[in-house]
A and B are shown apart, each in its own frame.
Chain A
Amino acid sequence: MEALPNTADAGMTRPRLIDDPRDLLRHFLGQGYRILAPQERDGVIDPAPLTEPEALPRGRVDDQGPGHYRLRDGDPDRWFDYVVGPSGWKAWLYPARRKLWSAERTDDRLTFRDATTAWPKTVLFGVRPCELAAIARQRRIFAEGPYVDTAFAERLERSIIVVVQCARSAPTCFCASMDTGPRAVAGYDLALTELPADHGAAFLVESASQAGDDVLHTLGGATARPRDHAAALDLSRAAAARQTRTMPDDIAGGLKLRLESPVWADIASRCLTCGNCTLACPTCFCSDVEEVSDLSGDHAERWQLWDSCFNSDFSFIHGGPVRSSPAARYRQWMTHKLSYWHDQFGSSGCVGCGRCITWCPVGIDLVAEADRLMAEGTD
């Protein structure tokens, strides 16, 4: 699992036990932070600004399957038994639409101005381990390459990340096979583990950064004991063991040998090329740029918006799109995600969150298709 950078001596503070996650929220609200935390809205649980700690979706659980997502009541005393919603944190750190710059024409000159947006000190509360990995992978692209998207880098720089470790896996989860969860071990500021009801204390709080240490110091609460750690680890192991999907180990190399497999056409016969998978995917990063000009003709703006490799215009060059068939577009998405990403960025582009499976309107199952492709012979 890759880590977001921490200062060398951070994360040395002993983990604490707290009874109520709202104490943490009240702490951050008191410090003037904006909090983004999962909340129930429009039938899904997704991050949104939280001003009232009571807004946490306590006792709610998501049922997920291929092309299926429903919320229902679970154990009313459990806070975090749901897993991930459709939008996640990507929409905050990398907005679906943003102004890049504007141009003014005056007399015979053009003046270009960077657009700016505000980003207050923010707490990303309730980030799941797979989502933490996804943030790290987008950070690798946007902030650690030869060219930097300063907007993404600064949003992340000015955010405190509070992870919630997963005690439950949805049927669509396969983070264990992608080595991204269900337990995050680094790269966060604070991590909460909701311990079982019979354990006594409710939450183990661990720090992995200076900012996390500072919070732990002011939070109070008992110092965690070895048995608390053991309970947290047992919980994660059990969540991993309940996962039913496993990505084939050799998928990165294997796909490269199957670029002309008949399976692509078979997937394409079901795929609607709607692009839901790319929108829901927490690592998908492709964007388009759009020109917006006003009637005066002297002011123009450039807007960046999410794009999808499933759009036919995505690969357009004069004459037509390079990838005109749905089979080629699905192949582009899957080979990029599971194979070429390794060559480009040193890891898989998939974190095993299962969103592409849940939010595919026809229930195409990435892991099942990966299995089918690998079962076929090579080109």
Chain B
Amino acid sequence: MPAEAAISGSMRPQPYRVTEVLRELDDVVTLRLAAEDRAPLPFRPGQFNMLYAFATGEIPVSISGDPSRPDELLHTVRRVGAVSSALAQLERGAVLGLRGPFGSHWPVETERGRHLLFVAGGLGLAPLRPAICRALARRADYAGITLVLGARSPREILYAWQLAGWAAAGAMKIHVCVDHAGPEWGGPVGVVTSQFPRALDGIAPDRVSAFLCGPEIMMRHGCGDLEHLGIHPERMWISMERNMKCATGLCGHCQFGADFVCRDGPVFRYRRVRRPLGIREV
């Protein structure tokens, strides 16, 4: 017989070590990771990695750190399923598997001279944080930076320590609203869309570029409201979530109309996905 070709599989991860576990919220942790034997991983804001928990499985997780510090590779994980729970239970020193980075990015760099509006709901701040870090690092490039953040309650505001720092530095305006609160909460109570008129007060809508990340309903209604307020659908971006197995456009799971969310997304220009967003069960 002729020689047989040994055919390899693909999608093999690399080992990364958990160097720090930051407890963010009751069910949310941020894992700081370092490659076992390779250089830090450059990434662009909005991209994600596939994280593998040994003997459990693999899920996509957005990179949530500062892109200018790839040595500080951060992923924020909420315990919702088997894999995310296994990841959230890892302790310092544990090893996981990582593939990436994958996907499209928030185009903050091409929106120079404009007013950047970030709209985040719940954990949606995690994929936006690298973009905010990038924008703040080049603050002079932008007319302004505003963040509208929605959270369930004041106890569930992600990266609250960092928001305080960002706000204190005065480089950006932050509007945090919660779904419900006790009387100790002096901020607004309501959904993110309720804060748009105030957040955009005095800003010409044709100068705004908006980046939304959160539950799909929030992004759908948020984009609709922003469009009504005069922001152009070409100047809005959202980050979509769908089931993913391969992250390379080969497994078919994440299709959203003609797009593969893993490869053509997760960050999409709103205009491109407006129609399928309005159709049920796409």
Direct contact of A and B (CB under 8 A): yes
Chain A residues packing against B (C-beta within 8 Å): 32-33, 98-101, 103, 105, 108-121, 141-142, 145-151, 154-155, 158, 259-260, 285-289, 291, 293, 297, 300, 302, 304, 307, 309, 314-318, 322-325, 327-328, 331-332, 336, 339-340, 343-344
Choice from B2, B58, B80, B248 contacting A318 with Cβ under 8 Å: B80
- Chain A residues lying within 8 Å of B96, measured Cβ to Cβ, are 110
Residues of B at under 8 Å CB distance from A? 1-2, 4-15, 36, 52, 54-58, 80-81, 93, 95-97, 241-243, 245-246, 248-253, 255, 257-258, 260, 263, 279-282
Note all chain B residues with C-beta closer than 8 A to A149.
10, 250
When distances are taken between beta carbons in the complex, the residues of chain A under 8 Å from B56 are: 291
Known contacts A322-B242, A340-B258, A343-B258; A328/B263 CB under 8 A: no
Given the contacts A99-B9, A120-B4, A325-B281, A300 and B252 also touching, CB distance less than 8 Å? no
A/B interface sample: 9 pairs, CB < 8 A: A105-B55, A112-B97, A113-B12, A114-B12, A120-B1, A146-B248, A146-B263, A323-B281, A340-B257
Q: How far is the CA of A291 from the CA of B13 in the complex (A)?
A: 14
Nearest A residue to B80 via CB reads A318
> Is the CB–CB distance between B255 and A118 below 8 Å?
no
CA distance A111 to B52 in the complex (A): 12
Rank and list the top 6 A-B pairs by shortest CB-CB distance, nearest first: A286-B252, A328-B281, A147-B248, A343-B258, A100-B9, A293-B55
What distance in Å separates the Cβ of A121 from its nearest Cβ neighbour in chain B? 5
Partner of B8, one of A150, A259, A302, A324: A150
Contact (Cβ within 8 A) A112 B5: no
Complex alpha-carbon distance, A141 and B260, angstroms: 12
Residue in A99, A108, A300, A331 whose CB lies within 8 Å of B95: A108
CB-defined contacts of A259 to chain B, threshold 8 Å = 279, 282
Instruction: Check A100/B252 contact, CB under 8 A, given A109-B95, A316-B243.
Output: no
Say what secondary structure dominates the interface of chain A: mixed
Chain A neighbourhood of B81, CB < 8 A: 318
| Pair B245/A287 contact, Cβ less than 8 Å | yes
Which residues of chain A are within 8 angstroms of B263 by Cβ–Cβ distance? 146-147
Interchain CB contact (< 8 A) of B2 among A117, A121, A150, A291? A121
Cross-chain contact A119 with B4 (CB below 8 angstroms): yes
Most buried by A among B6, B58, B281, B282: B281
Are B55 and A297 in touch, CB under 8 angstroms? yes
A288 CA / B243 CA spacing, docked (Å): 10
Q: Are A112 and B249 in contact (CB under 8 A)?
A: no
CB-based contact B243/A287 at 8 Å: no
